[in-house]
């Protein structure tokens, strides 16, 4: 049994073939015509005192529970690591393959997913076999890579744009893992949509996080994972002043800003310590709003029928109301269970969110958390859409109506408070623990 922290790192290529359908925008014929930068699966395996944990970062847009379960099962078969101790995060670039299904956005590219699945497991296996003792340093810096994207128009409606007075998380955090012979790995945590490339782009890319990671790795030699944070209502800050950038120039603007900030945090680290490792695994119940009544659903379905084949909101509305009508034929569902896995590394707690949380949710969680560094990982271990605030429901906007894209059911109106309450309880329990794995059934 190891009394000091061990870390292993692995990386494999998961770049799609040209002609693969790209995700992120409701564009029917958006297929990859070139590769600007390759996509990766990057894995860290952390080991201490018999506790093993995997942090896996995929250069995808989203990951569904089905793929999370498959990755965990295959990792366990290959390495023996407990399935629930595997955290699968995606960077959320909108210039990557369709790894999820949504009404109006298209179906999951299962052929691509199955093609690269063995390569993803190979990245974890590489990391598991390359373990070495490390010490860890933690650095933070203020960063303006992100900007709130819920622009309020003069007519009081909300559009995807930029809102300079809206909330965003300005803290970038860097974890630096140092071995006996120098840097081993790094984690960069920050929250902003990787949407510099828009719906007209046909390139495969990691978007602005790719520029940042490549620069950091080139100058430090540390294999770097990017973990996206408060991404739900945050766009990349480019001079195009929109929620989506205008191509390569905007990419370098945002990516270079992110790289400068990440390097500043990385180089500010002076203290390195041998940190404790612990993992907490418990179930969280995410309740749904009640279904609309059958009469309303049939009426809305009829209204949406004439534009049902138009990609985006029109198709989304039709298929949502169709799903609601079908749901009335069976037993109503009250919610969904999410298995939460929080990984603790000394004063750092990594908290997965299976969707895209608004920045206010993350800022509140961090304020209430007992940990010095609470890193909320969006689009991690599943995808239940946007986690919006109750205040945003009143104004509406894209993030509110797009909840219909994921099926008949929509998360409860107070999902922001419920997520914070459940995760704060778990964080306090983990903070008070003795540094060992904690596995139990429910946090509700």
User: Tell me: the pLDDT tens digits for 132-191?
Assistant: 999 999 999 999 999 999 999 999 999 999 999 999 999 999 999 999 999 999 999 999
Query: Are residues 271 and 297 both part of a single domain?
Result: no
Q: Which domain holds residue 321?
A: 291-331
pLDDT at residue 29 tops 90 = no
The total domain count for the chain is 2
The pLDDT assigned to 28 comes to 82
The answer to whether residue 443 scores a pLDDT higher than 90 is: no
**Predicted local distance difference test score (pLDDT) of residue 444:** 47
Q: Please write the tens of the pLDDT for every residue from 89-121.
A: 999 999 999 999 999 999 999 999 999 999 999
Report the distance separating Cα 397 and Cα 158, nearest Å. 5
pLDDT for position 337:
95
Residue 388 and residue 311 share a domain? no
Q: Residue 444 domain-assigned?
A: no
Distances (CA, A) of 353 to 7, 103, 439: 24, 22, 18
What pLDDT score was predicted for residue 442? 46
Answer yes or no: are the C-beta atoms of 18 and 130 closer than 8 Å.
no
Q: pLDDT tens across 73-85, in order?
A: 999 999 999 999 9
On whether both 58 and 86 belong to a single domain, the answer is yes
Burial of 186 (0-12, 13-18, 19+ CB in 10 A): buried
Position 11 in a domain: yes
Read off φ and ψ for residue 10, nearest 5 degrees: -145, 150
Are 55 and 203 part of one and the same domain? yes
Residue 440 in domain: no
Same domain, 126 and 99: yes
Helix (H) or strand (E) holding 300: helix 294-304
How high is the pLDDT of residue 86?
98
Residues 311 and 182 in one domain: no
> Which of the four pLDDT bands, split at 50, 70 and 90, describes residue 27?
confident
Round to whole Å and give the CA distance between 198 and 202: 9
Q: Write out pLDDT tens, residues 40-59.
A: 999 999 999 999 999 999 99
Closest by alpha carbon to 38, among 67, 68, 9, 12?
Answer: 12
Q: Does 433 map to a domain?
A: no
Q: Which of 25-29, 255-259, 363-367, 409-413 has the lowest mean pLDDT?
A: 25-29
Q: Within this chain, do residues 349 and 376 fall inside the same structural domain, yes or no?
A: yes
**Which residue shows structure tokens 């199955």?**
114
Q: Is 427 inside any structural domain?
A: no
Please state the pTM of the whole predicted model: 0.96
> Residues 233-248: what's their mean pLDDT?
94
In a domain, 285, yes or no: no
Domain shared by 321 and 196, yes or no: no
Nearest-angstrom CA–CA distance, 210 and 216: 10
Whether residue 151 contacts residue 190, with contact meaning beta carbons closer than 8 Å, is answered with no
Q: Flag whether 417 is in a domain.
A: no
- Which position has the higher pLDDT, 28 or 68? 68
SS3 of 141-176? EECCCEEECEEECCCCCEEECCCCCCCCCCEEEEEE
As a whole-number percent, the residues of the chain with pLDDT over 90 amount to 96
User: What is the average pLDDT score of the chain?
Assistant: 95
Do 148 and 33 have their domain in common?
yes
Look at residue 416 in the predicted model and tell me its pLDDT. 97
Domain presence at residue 420: no
Q: What is the pLDDT of residue 437?
A: 53
pLDDT at position 439: 53
- The pLDDT assigned to 2 comes to 54
Residues 245 and 184 in one domain: yes
220 and 103 in a common domain: yes
The answer on pLDDT for 280 being more than 70 is yes
Residue 301 sits in the same domain as residue 158: no
């Amino acid at each position: 049994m190891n009394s000091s922290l061990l870390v292993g790192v692995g990386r494999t290529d998961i770049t799609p073939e040209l002609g693969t359908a790209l995700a992120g925008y409701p564009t029917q014929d958006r297929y990859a015509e070139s590769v600007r930068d390759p996509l990766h699966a990057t894995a860290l395996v952390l080991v201490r005192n018999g506790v093993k944990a995997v942090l896996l970062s995929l250069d995808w847009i989203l990951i569904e529970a089905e793929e999370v379960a498959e990755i965990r099962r295959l990792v366990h078969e290959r390495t023996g690591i407990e399935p629930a101790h595997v955290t699968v995060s995606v960077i959320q670039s909108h210039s990557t393959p369709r790894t999820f299904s949504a009404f109006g956005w298209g179906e999951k590219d299962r052929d691509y997913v199955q093609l690269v699945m063995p390569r993803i497991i190979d990245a974890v296996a590489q990391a598991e076999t390359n373990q070495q003792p490390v010490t860890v340093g933690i650095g933070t810096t203020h960063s303006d890579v992100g900007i709130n994207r819920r622009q309020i128009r003069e007519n009081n409606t909300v559009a995807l744009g930029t809102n300079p007075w809206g909330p965003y998380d300005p803290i970038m955090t860097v974890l630096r893992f140092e071995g006996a012979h120098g840097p081993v790995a790094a984690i960069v945590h920050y929250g902003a949509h990787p949407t510099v490339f828009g719906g007209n782009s046909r390139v495969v890319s990691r978007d602005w996080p790719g520029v940042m990671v490549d620069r950091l790795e080139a100058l430090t030699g540390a294999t770097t994972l990017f973990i996206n944070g408060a991404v739900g209502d945050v766009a990349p800050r480019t001079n195009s002043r929109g929620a989506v950038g205008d191509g390569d120039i905007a990419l370098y603007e945002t990516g270079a800003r992110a790289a400068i900030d990440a390097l500043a945090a990385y180089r500010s680290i002076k203290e390195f310590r041998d940190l404790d490792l612990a993992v907490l695994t418990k179930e969280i119940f995410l309740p749904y709003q009640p279904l609309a009544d059958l009469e309303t659903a049939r009426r809305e379905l009829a209204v949406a029928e004439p534009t049902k084949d138009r990609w985006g909101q029109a198709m989304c509305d039709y298929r949502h109301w169709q799903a609601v009508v079908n749901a009335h034929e069976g037993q109503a569902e009250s919610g969904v269970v999410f298995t939460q896995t929080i990984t603790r590394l000394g004063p750092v707690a990594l908290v997965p969110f299976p969707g895209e949380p608004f920045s206010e949710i993350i800022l509140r969680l961090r304020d209430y958390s007992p940990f010095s560094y609470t890193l909320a990982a969006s689009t991690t271990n599943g995808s239940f859409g946007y986690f919006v605030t109750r205040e945003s429901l009143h104004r509406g906007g894209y993030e509110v109506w797009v909840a219909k894209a994921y099926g008949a059911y929509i998360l409860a109106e107070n999902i922001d408070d419920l997520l914070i309450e459940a995760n704060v309880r778990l964080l306090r329990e983990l903070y008070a623990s003795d540094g060992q794995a904690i596995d139990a059934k429910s946090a509700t």
